[in-house]
Amino acid sequence: MLNELARVRRLVAEPVVEVTGTAPTDRTVFTRPLGRPDALGSLADIAFTNAAEAPDTVVVRRKTGGTWRDVTARQLADDVSALAGGLIAQGLEPGGRVALMARTTYEWMLVDLATWAAGGVVVPIYPTSSAEQARWILTDSGAMFCVVETREQVDMLGTTGVSVPVACIDEGAVEDVRRGGADVEPSVVEQRRAAISPQAVATVIYTSGTTGRPKGCVLTHASLLAEVDSITALLLPPFRAATGQEPSTILFLPLAHVLGRVVQLACLRERVVLGHAPSVAPDELRPDLASFEPTFLVGIPYVFEKIRDVARQQATEMGKAGAFGRAERVAERYGRLALEVDPRSSISPWGLLGLRLAHRLYDLLVYRRIRAALGGRVRYAISGGSALSPRLTHFFAGAGVVIVQGYGLTETCAAITINPPTRPRPDTVGRPVPGAEVRVAGNGEVQVRGPQVFSGYHESGEGIDDDGWFSTGDLGVLDADGYLTVTGRSKEILVTSTGKNVSPGPMEDQLRGHPLISQCMLVGDDRPFVAALITLDTEAVEHWRAHTDDPSDDGLRRTLQDAVDEVNATVSRAESIRAFAIVDDDFTEDNGLLTPSLKLRRAHVLEACAAEIDALYASARSTPR
């Protein structure tokens, strides 16, 4: 691994990055485009282009009856065309909205592609959405047809009061719609597809609604194609060079989220073999990873944290907790060196030799198990959705898997910055993707511009200024090499009664990386100091109590205090967490305290935990020292 990135750098071309300005909050960074010029046509063409150019190439592996079965480009195009004909027979007109509510499955992809082929617009709804959330999206988007996965979702939509035809995948809806279009000639689908312009609306994706009612982001075929072509030109060459194999991946992110959607489109456009897994629960995901054996993954920090934590628990159960701790420290040190441009510049030859020997030992004992948990062939992974701890990045790099972190929003068609795989900096979210431009405004807000950026919000059309810049609402700084560090979100800044501004996100992310902590939210607005609400991972706590010398509640609080102290060491005293409360109930989607993309609904948490917060500040034990 120490020589791996240097080898890959020699094999792939890197984009040219232009940095103007000298101050961290007065810089503009532009990455020149790579690969294809401005895309023509539409997303509806992807399946049919593949079928025309490489009909027998396997583009998807579909799990049926517990077995992965190959789907060729020709087969996928036939499925898409037949279903598109069925949607046309159902009355779908060009520009008509089709809502789609299901887990990450082949059927989700098929309905998505078929709606486009019929000239329609897809409106995703998270499968975990409440009736109120679904009602708002259906009515605001003007959906004329809805496809869901389960009977429970059909019944839930029935309580919304929205009158819209609903088809259920579990009840054979896809095949029924397909049969209903038997009399629709393929030429009709071809005419619909040919009439779609790149600037036509492809999808309306609703934001997670962390600070209010979700807003519909209008994304065109051109903006999504620009994003797809940018990230594939940047990422696929090093992925191929690192493994010497054609890339393949299994997608488990929700397709209602823009990141999962873009990854799916990128794989289809580049004929990267793609599989679907409907769950991110570790016990359900691991068998799919083992049987599919992907070469790269796209996930969220939760997934990578769970892989490491499960390995730690297994080692503890085998009486090897100490050995795992040493292996973890070696991996972090080795991974930190591996990600440096010149690793030998920061360690002596003898120190490097000792580190290599220790790494070789723990590779046999620990790291190969980590790689096996990801399917055995993964060498690169992409993380998005929330901040990834640099320590976790270093750990996985030491275990043989380089995780590159990116940053983006629904409004930017997923990643607007990403760490280049050959030159990642784990404490940043990387540089602009090819063709994109990033700057920091005078108030510290990150602004972005490029062909990937949306055309505006549904109904209002607002979103970008006259010069094409979109203000993200996030705060950040750009370094001299063009790497962006996100320091917080402007609407989430806490202002204590002493006048100190505190950005809670980075500290919350660090605490969530602790194996015993499930969720964390900082409080302190108009209060004398910053405090934290912490929920626990019940399985991890049970495991900890069974293997620690002091399983008492006091021992647990001391362990959590150590985690808080470690975070406090990274900030000033005025920003530090002076007290914390353990909240009994976790923050989840089900209780409305997390969005479907697992972001905190801060206002909802403040309301739900008002008593705990008041007690926290009233308690004599919480008086700042």
pLDDT of the residue at 343: 61
Residue 565 sits in the same domain as residue 505: yes
pLDDT of the residue at 26: 78
pLDDT of the residue at 352: 85
Domain containing residue 120: 43-196
DSSP at 625 = -
DSSP at 597 = T
Residue 536 sits in the same domain as residue 468: no
Residue 66 sits in the same domain as residue 190: yes
The answer to the question of residue 147 being in a domain is yes
Of the candidates 136, 169, 196, which is a domain's last residue?
Answer: 196
pLDDT of the residue at 624: 45
Per-residue pLDDT for 152 more than 70?
yes
Residue 422's pLDDT band, with cuts at 50, 70 and 90, is: confident
> What are the CA-CA distances from residue 409 to residues 107, 259, 563 (Å)?
25, 9, 30
State mean pLDDT over 361-365.
94
What is the tens place of the pLDDT at every residue in 442-498?
888 999 999 999 989 998 878 899 999 999 999 999 999 999 999 888 778 888 887
Residue 480 sits in the same domain as residue 587: no
State mean pLDDT over 486-514.
85
In contact, 205 and 410? CB cutoff 8 Å:
yes
The answer to the question of residue 228 being in a domain is no
Tell me, what CATH number does 101's domain have?
A: 3.40.50.980
CA distance linking residue 174 with residue 169, whole number of Å: 6
Residue 497 sits in the same domain as residue 597: yes
| 334: its two tokens | 């080795």
The answer to the question of residue 355 being in a domain is yes
CA distance linking residue 398 with residue 363, whole number of Å: 9
| Chain mean pLDDT for the chain | 90
Of the candidates 488, 521, 539, which is a domain's last residue?
Answer: 488
What is the tens place of the pLDDT at every residue in 564-578?
999 999 888 888 999
Residue 534's pLDDT band, with cuts at 50, 70 and 90, is: very high
In contact, 418 and 425? CB cutoff 8 Å:
no
Cα-atom radius of gyration of the chain, to the nearest Å? 25
What is the tens place of the pLDDT at every residue in 13-64?
788 999 998 777 778 999 999 866 555 689 999 999 999 999 999 999 999 9
CA distance linking residue 162 with residue 158, whole number of Å: 7
Tell me, what CATH number does 359's domain have?
A: 2.30.38.10
Q: Which range among 217-226, 485-494, 577-586 shows the weakest confidence by mean pLDDT?
A: 485-494
The answer to the question of residue 521 being in a domain is yes
Residue 208's pLDDT band, with cuts at 50, 70 and 90, is: confident
**For the chain, how many structural domains are there in total?**
3
pLDDT of the residue at 599: 81
Other Cβ atoms closer than 10 A to 614: 10
pLDDT of the residue at 496: 87
Residue 245's pLDDT band, with cuts at 50, 70 and 90, is: confident
Other Cβ atoms closer than 10 A to 509: 16
The answer to the question of residue 279 being in a domain is no
pLDDT of the residue at 509: 86
Residue 406 sits in the same domain as residue 445: yes
Residue 66 sits in the same domain as residue 25: no
State mean pLDDT over 243-269.
93
Residue 444 sits in the same domain as residue 563: no
* Burial grade of 135 (CB within 10 A; 0-12, 13-18, 19 or more): middle
The residues that bridge with 559 in the sheet, in sequence order, are none
The answer to the question of residue 206 being in a domain is no
Choose the most confident range, by mean pLDDT, from 160-164, 170-174, 492-496.
170-174
What is the tens place of the pLDDT at every residue in 306-357?
899 888 888 888 888 889 999 999 999 999 998 886 666 678 888 889 999 9
Q: Which residue in 427, 414, 424, 416 sits closest to 388, CA to CA?
A: 427
The answer to the question of residue 275 being in a domain is no
* Phi, then psi, of 59 in degrees rounded to 5: -110, -25
> What are the CA-CA distances from residue 219 to residues 95, 143, 260, 393 (Å)?
13, 16, 15, 32
> What are the CA-CA distances from residue 373 to residues 224, 247, 542 (Å)?
32, 18, 22
pLDDT of the residue at 209: 62
| 218: its two tokens | 């209008």
What is the tens place of the pLDDT at every residue in 551-561?
999 999 999 99
Per-residue pLDDT for 622 more than 50?
no
Residue 300 sits in the same domain as residue 449: yes
Residue 472 sits in the same domain as residue 508: no
| 65: its two tokens | 């009856």
pTM for the model stands at: 0.87
State mean pLDDT over 108-126.
97
Per cent of the chain over pLDDT 70 is 96
* Residue 34 or 374, more confident: 374
* Residue 202 or 346, more confident: 202
Tell me, what CATH number does 546's domain have?
A: 3.30.300.30
Angle at 360 between CA 356 and CA 365, to 5 degrees: 145
Per-residue pLDDT for 243 more than 90?
no
CA distance linking residue 31 with residue 177, whole number of Å: 44
Other Cβ atoms closer than 10 A to 176: 13
Q: Which residue has the tokens 């353990």?
A: 582
The answer to the question of residue 542 being in a domain is yes
Residue 499 sits in the same domain as residue 391: no
Residue 12 sits in the same domain as residue 71: no
Q: Are strands 201-206 and 216-220 parallel, antiparallel or unpaired?
A: antiparallel
pLDDT of the residue at 341: 67
